[in-house]
Amino acid sequence: MATRRQEKVARVVKEGVSNAIAHHLSDPRIEGFVSVTRVDMAANLRNADVYVSIFGGNKAAQNKTFAAITHAKSRIQSLVAGKLQSKFCPVLHFYRDEKFKKALEIMKLIDQTASELEKEDPEEDLDEEEV
């Protein structure tokens, strides 16, 4: 379980990374919408695992965007260091977060299944209403 200090630093890192990607990187490879979904801090606050979701474009464009973000890791880290009031800035490690995309896919499958069930059984709905 994360301590309050870890949560506080993680929140500042998340905001700093998000701001850096949105406003301070001018890499043409960054396309679509990039969202920092979560940041996990190490207990000693020296390392931060940053999870990003990339929306828009095809898979190749998303891969290029992630490569650009990881390439700019040192620039992002220096911008985050300016936001932290600490002796040191945690080393950032970037990972792709696919949970949100998987959740959207599951919701889409549930909606498709529900619409198929409604198309198959319209008579059963009428029988239940009459009773």
Mean pLDDT of the 47-58 span: 90
pTM: 0.77
pLDDT at 104: 82
CATH class of 4-97: alpha beta
pLDDT at 92: 96
Q: Residues for the chain: how many in total?
A: 131
pLDDT at 98: 82
Query: What's the Cα-to-Cα distance from 48 to each of 16, 17, 29, 93, rounded to whole Å?
Result: 12, 11, 24, 6
A 10 A CB-CB count for 105 gives 11
pLDDT at 13: 95
Instruction: Categorize the per-residue pLDDT at 31 as very low, low, confident or very high, splitting at 50, 70 and 90.
Output: confident
Instruction: Categorize the per-residue pLDDT at 118 as very low, low, confident or very high, splitting at 50, 70 and 90.
Output: confident
Q: Hey, where are the domains in the chain?
A: 4-97, 99-131
Look at residue 68 and tell me whether its pLDDT is greater than 70: yes
Look at residue 75 and tell me whether its pLDDT is greater than 60: yes
